[in-house]
Chain A
């Protein structure tokens, strides 16, 4: 049973560029959440997708957007990158509709903005 997968593993971009990160949920999971983790901090909730719609959103600007596909995989897009966007981006999947609120995390994408 494949767990949550994310790509790419590492990414280096320059200020002003745009980036797309990808996530495939654990088999049987229909809900994907994205988190940003700065160095030395706990993860911060960005947003959550369910049935291809954004269901919840944290305190992140509109530069952060996402998408969920019919196969439940998801993308996180960040436009107009800032130095402060450098962080580990984590994807988590769960299946609340299946009675499982437990969130399982992927290995993360480490984004560096120069």
Chain B
């Protein structure tokens, strides 16, 4: 089955810094989502982005489907950005998401 790899596994930033999180996947996908999981476990949708580029405030994402990777950009990070960022994909119209192991982000004041 499809494999999803995220990097880096852990990231520590000072408030105000920028960061780039990467998601590599091993096969073509028809669904790719980025999520933020807060310390209480709630998964928050960030982007639905099987291809192209989207922006939402300080966050933006780009998926290059032909090269099988997606990037999540966080600019001017805030302490509330702390948590785990997951990339999840669906490869075959099954509508079941396959997840990476996440990037654990800590933003220090």
Interface residue ranges, A against B (CB under 8 Å): 31, 33, 35, 37, 41-45, 48, 56, 58, 88, 90, 92, 94, 96, 101-105, 107-108, 110
Contact = CB atoms under 8 A, between A and B. Distances in A.
A90 B96 CA distance: 13
B99 interface: yes
B41 A101 contact: no
A103 B32 CA distance: 10
B105 interface: no
Contact of A105 (B43, B94, B102): B43
A24 to B, nearest CB: 16
A103 B90 CA distance: 11
A42 B33 contact: no
A33 B95 CA distance: 9
Contacts of B88: 42-43
Nearest to A58: B96
Contacts, number: 59
Interface residues of B, number: 24
Interface of B: 4, 30-31, 33, 35, 40-45, 48, 86, 88, 90, 94-102
Nearest to A31: B95
Nearest to B87: A42
A15 B95 CA distance: 32
